[in-house]
Amino acid sequence: MVKVQDELRYLLALSSIPVIGPGTTRKLLNAFGTPENIFRAPMKELLQVEGVGKGRAEGIANFKAWGETDKVIGKCEKAGIRILYYKDADYPVLLKEIPDHPLVLFMKGQIREEDRYAIAIVGTRKASHYGISVTERFTSELSSMGFTIVSGMARGIDTAAHRKAIQNNGSTIAVLGSGVDVIYPPESAWLYRRIVEEGAVVSEFLPGTKPLRENFPVRNRLISGLSLGVLVVEASQRSGALITAEFALEQGREVFAVPGNVMSSSFAGTHSLIQKGAKLVQSADDIVEELRHILKGFVKSNKKVEIALDAEEKRLCCQISHEPVHIDEIIRNSGVASSEALTLLLGLEIKGVVRQIDGKKFQLV
């Protein structure tokens, strides 16, 4: 009987052959039963497998880079990277449901059983203040209910979702378009470390793989595959978030979208999704309602702690929205003296009600 670690070694060897992808590997496994048998099969039998062809068959038959395969295994052990085999009990349950799930998954951190209750939040890298604010609001509500937040650790919406989940003491999973040991974007090293502590960073690409452009559409199917549904916050017509939404539909996952400014092209893709039937959502409760048949009592209480505000603070808050408002406009419309307004706004920041951005602009959290 072949040991699991031996099967894993043969699978890693297959994945290192450039012309052999997950689809071809599945066909080979169906034909020969185990990864080891694939390498022991004669050329004649390899060529009989649909889609293999001479190039792939020769790649398998002439494979000699076992030392490199062993180096990958050693590198993972040294760097604290877990290699999850698709037969592993810890392999993510939801991901295993999709037909093209990776046979080998690399992971730093930990995926828990309750991470099957996950929502992906995706959107543009060039997010507006409104998009960031909406992302933070939904993330806060969902993580408070116990949902794990899945995203791709890209700039913009992805980063906002991961960051807010961590701030809310929630679990979050980042799916990379590079090796699990390659941090991208590089300025997110701090976020990477926190995600590993509070959840997991995963990738199907071999350690050391650079964040090549063609890798990102491939990884998007894992973002949706790890989730019960995908929330698209802000996306243009050419956004990669739409690819994730397409994968979600193919996988039988729910797709949710937040409406934005109809005059802004950065929401054109989001609005297109809504026109095509994506569920328009205004709060996390809308998502929960759509998934109620799956959740079966999972959702935790999401009662918010009421923040006590005095009359002057409330007057200021009435002049602030989720879009940035300049302090001069706040003072003018509220009728509060400028010196007093600055003190009140500082207090509101400390209470977590507003945040200051772009120097003298404020928005509701």
Residues 327 and 252 in one domain: no
| CATH code of the domain in which 226 resides | 3.40.50.450
Go through the chain and tell me how many residues it has.
Answer: 365
Residues 229 and 324 in one domain: no
| CATH code of the domain in which 29 resides | 1.10.150.20
Residues 125 and 270 in one domain: yes
In tens digits, what is the pLDDT along the chain, a chain of 365 residues?
Answer: 345 578 889 999 998 888 888 888 989 999 999 999 999 999 999 999 998 989 999 999 999 999 999 999 999 999 999 999 888 888 999 999 998 899 999 999 999 989 999 999 999 999 999 999 999 999 999 999 999 999 999 999 999 999 999 999 999 999 999 999 999 999 999 999 999 998 999 999 999 999 999 999 999 999 999 999 999 999 999 899 999 999 999 999 999 999 998 889 999 999 999 999 999 999 999 999 999 888 866 766 544 445 778 888 888 888 888 778 888 899 988 888 888 888 888 888 877 788 888 778 888 87
Please name the helix (run of DSSP H) or strand (run of DSSP E) that holds residue 345, with its range, or none: helix 338-350
State both tokens at 325: 């408002």
Residue 99 lies in a domain: no
| CATH code of the domain in which 325 resides | 1.10.10.10
Type of residue at 277 = G
d(CA 353, CA 365): 6
d(CA 150, CA 260): 22
How many domains would you assign to the chain?
3
Residue 302 lies in a domain: no
Domain end residue (candidates: 246, 268, 295): 295
Residue 15 lies in a domain: yes
User: How much is the pLDDT for 4?
Assistant: 53
3-class DSSP state for residue 234?
A: coil
Residues 169 and 281 in one domain: yes
d(CA 127, CA 272): 18
State both tokens at 65: 């880079």
Residue 102 lies in a domain: no
Residues 205 and 58 in one domain: no
Domain end residue (candidates: 250, 270, 295): 295
Residues 70 and 15 in one domain: yes
Domain end residue (candidates: 261, 295, 329): 295
Residues 61 and 131 in one domain: no
Residues 61 and 150 in one domain: no
Residues 254 and 204 in one domain: yes
Residue 59 lies in a domain: yes
d(CA 13, CA 112): 28
State both tokens at 209: 């793989």
User: How much is the pLDDT for 300?
Assistant: 63
Q: How far out from the chain centre does Cα 32 lie? A: 34
d(CA 28, CA 49): 7
Residues 68 and 153 in one domain: no
Residue 358 lies in a domain: yes
Residue 158 lies in a domain: yes
Query: Which structural domain range is residue 73 located in?
Result: 4-78
Residues 146 and 266 in one domain: yes
pTM, 2 dp: 0.81
Residue 83 lies in a domain: no
